[in-house]
Amino acid sequence: MVKVPFFDWAGLYNERAADFSRIMTDTLSRGGFILQKDVEEFEQNLARYVGAKYAVGVSDGTNAILLGLRASGIKQGDEIILAGHSFVAAAQSIHFAGATPVPVELDEHDWLVSPEAIETAITDRTRAIMPVHVNGRVCRMDAILEIARRHELEVFEDSAQAMGAKFDGQGAGTMGRWGTYSFYPSKTLGCFGDAGGFVTNDPDIYERVRAMRNHGANKAKSIPVDVDVWGTNARLDNVHAAILNYKLGYYDETIARRREIAQRYHDALKNVEGARLPPPPDADNRYFDIYQNYEFCHPKRDALRAHLAERNIGTIIQWGGFGIHELNNLGMGRDLPRTDRFFRESLLLPLNHILTDEQVGHVVASLAEFFGGRR
């Protein structure tokens, strides 16, 4: 029987093993370890690709958010609104910047943050909105930016799962004051360890984040003897930058393959009774989705998952099946019934660019088998 792991970790390297080995050997053999030309080249190419003026390579997506918040002057007592349907990393960064994360409901159309829920959560302590672009789709940024404008709030984009996605032709991460990306191995653009990116059009924010990721050293100070800002060690490793730079060269092909697979899943499920699906590719020309994940909902989720497992198909319930609004021990407990229903029914199918047509066909056939051929 065909095996379809949710993610083939070894396949991530074996996809182009000879090229990856050559790049790593070249980088390491010339002593390219920390903040050398590979990082600078990747930063330039990343900014160009997403449509931002500036990019900073950092150690991971979580620190990218934290540095952005600190560089923006977020302080104790500030509140930042984000979706309950998001990973805890964004909330953690808000917390460690001294502010309070405020989770709100999702929009049932695409399961991203609801602009209407954002507006009702604004208080006199609200400082910013953090749209989290989940699963490779951009939030309703026109409505979010309008809310922010009316209430004089900042917008910071967590685009960890959406590098390359667009809304109205603008790249995820480039519409607010700044945006961040994760290059964790399983991301659409992933390296072989932890890595992240920060982008902005604000030169002051750029300079602060660039210094803060390296103990506060500015451009003129490679050794931070006399620093102007409190920083930390959040540098992007040079060898990861070299790999990411190479992968960026065929990233459009990666996205195209993901969109093709997402369309096949949509066609297999669109007539299934009770299924709630993400918007398919090209359903709305305002959106360009990259499908970091294919997440859909069905009341028989658990039975379906068992059925797929019997057929050697791996699935995941994202973030363990709960949102950040359920983390009561962290003080974020809130009543978000739409988000709760979503997590009771949601499931991630295998979706990455190294899946073969045979593997995708096996997933599609197994879905049809479970749902009795009603497609």
Residue 229 has pLDDT above 90, yes or no: no
Q: How far from the centroid of its chain's Cα atoms is residue 22's Cα?
A: 28
- Per-residue pLDDT reduced to its tens digit, 192-214: 999 999 999 999 999 999 999 99
What does the block give as tokens for 39? 């990082």
What does the block give as tokens for 209? 């984040």
Residue 374 has pLDDT above 50, yes or no: no
Question: What is the pLDDT, as a whole number, of residue 329?
Answer: 81
Q: Domain limits of the chain?
A: 10-248, 251-370
Residue type (1 letter), 145: L
CATH of 251-370, one of 3.50.50.60, 3.30.360.10, 3.40.50.620, 3.90.1150.10: 3.90.1150.10
Residue partners of 301: CB distance under 8 A and separation at least 6:
317, 344, 345, 346, 347
- Per-residue pLDDT reduced to its tens digit, 131-159: 999 999 999 999 999 999 999 999 999 99
Bridge partners of 156, per DSSP, are 178
Helix (H) or strand (E) holding 79: strand 79-83
Q: How far from the centroid of its chain's Cα atoms is residue 205's Cα?
A: 21
Query: Across all residues in the chain, what is the average pLDDT?
Result: 94
Residue whose C-alpha is closest to residue 212's, from 356, 14, 57, 345: 57
Alpha-carbon distance of 313 to 358, in angstroms, equals 12
For the chain, give me the number of helices (H) and strands (E)? 13, 12
Alpha-carbon distance of 198 to 160, in angstroms, equals 10
How is domain 10-248 classified at the CATH fold level? Aspartate Aminotransferase; domain 2 (3.40.640)
Torsion angle (degrees, nearest 10) of CA 121, 279, 197, 353:
150
Tell me the whole-structure pTM to 2 decimals: 0.94
Q: Strands 126-129 and 154-158: what pairing?
A: parallel
Report the alpha-carbon angle 222-226-232, nearest 5: 65
Buried b (16+ CB within 10 A) or exposed e, 163-187: bbbbbeebbbbbbbbbbbbbbbeeb
Cβ–Cβ under 8 Å, residues 122 and 149: no
Cβ–Cβ under 8 Å, residues 271 and 374: yes
- Per-residue pLDDT reduced to its tens digit, 90-107: 999 999 999 999 999 999
**Gyration radius (Cα) of the chain, Å:** 21
Cβ–Cβ under 8 Å, residues 104 and 118: yes
Residue 80 has pLDDT above 60, yes or no: yes
Annotate 222-236 with DSSP letters as a single string.
SS-SS-SS---B-BP
Q: What is the mean pLDDT of residues 357-374?
A: 91
Residue type (1 letter), 74: I
